[in-house]
Amino acid sequence: MNRLPTFQRLSRPGSALLLAALLLAGEWAAHAQDGYAASVRIVNPGVSFQLAGTEAIFMLPEDAVLPMATGDVLETDRTGRVLVEFANDLQLLLLPSSRLSVLDSQRGEDGQYELRLRIDGHSVQRLGTADAETIQLTIDTEWGDVRASAGWFALWSDLERSTVITVAEGNVDFAPNWGAPLYSAGTAEGIVIELDSARVIDLTPPYNGARMIGLASTCEGRVNAAGGVLNIRAGTGVGYSVIGDVFNGARVRVIGVTEDGVWYRIQRFSGFGWMLTSGAQADCPDLPVYPNLSGENNRELFNVEQAELDLLEPFYGQFDDDVWFYRWRQAEG
């Protein structure tokens, strides 16, 4: 497995001017000629950019627009988001705490572009629009290659102990590092990939990775709290913030328990949380065991644009459907 190099952020003044100078000087144009270039727009700040062949890291402002080609790297922090377009035939939304590298891009004799990316984190891809250039897309992940030439799908390559692919339209293949067989998922299906195995699971909307993890678990619990309502926290302790609650009688998908048996890990909306085992009934042997001190890093979106909602809706629902994910929507101009 080829791992991308780690790098440090460039924080000295004038870095944006230096980036502009490099682009104007033709550094980008030189390496773009060898492959297919993309158009990048920063939709929420917190994004760094590494130009191929350099060690400098540039922090990009909101609404910045720039080209991206083979060897370039984008990385988002906990708030950053990037919209990338390839030939009007592929839209890719890179979500917070994620990394995108263009590994290779070339045009075949048949005129089709072969585009190879590496994504570590969460992303949504919509591929294959009418009257557009054709792209054969390959995405490298830790466990293997994701392949598609048309479709609308999401990738969670750092979710849990698994990699998850969910398909809203079209067909997506997964070629594992460990060899045959090839796994294929069509509309309303997903693939859960673990250390040396994968399986295809049927889905109903919303098609997000957390729901796939929940469906992969056979353990369902029922809330029975003394006060009638049970808090869901971001971690295993009362010092963690309350991120939701559930009332008595509610069913919850239990996906793990702490070593001391005090906390259940549950899936809810497009994320995960923790509730006290004393407030829920769940008779589930062989649950995954987590350290007593565990916390979550659920992704959240602030200032969401309509263009993003259009890409995200099959996987996260509309703005009011997932209160853990959509924190607030950008006001209409």
User: What average pLDDT does the structure give for the chain?
Assistant: 85
127 and 176 housed in the same domain? no
Are 312 and 188 in the same domain?
A: no
Helix, strand, or coil (residue 116)? strand
Same domain, 208 and 265: no
Note whether residue 177 is domain-resident.
Answer: yes
C-alpha to C-alpha distances, 301 to 97, 162, 266, 326, nearest whole angstrom: 11, 22, 21, 5
**pLDDT for position 37:** 66
Long-range contacts of 63-68 (CB under 8 A, 24+ apart): 65/39, 65/40, 65/41, 66/19, 66/23, 66/39, 66/40, 67/23, 67/28, 67/32, 67/37, 67/38, 67/39, 67/40, 68/37, 68/38, 68/39, 68/40, 68/102
With bands split at pLDDT 50, 70 and 90, how would you rate the model's confidence at 32?
Answer: very low
pTM: 0.85
Q: Give the span between the Cα atoms of 123 and 65, in whole angstroms.
A: 19
Structural domain includes residue 104:
yes
Give the pLDDT score at 21. 47
- Domain of 313 in residue numbering reads as 301-333
Q: How many domains does the chain have?
A: 4
Q: Are 300 and 327 in contact (CB under 8 A)?
A: yes
User: Is pLDDT of 63 > 70?
Assistant: yes
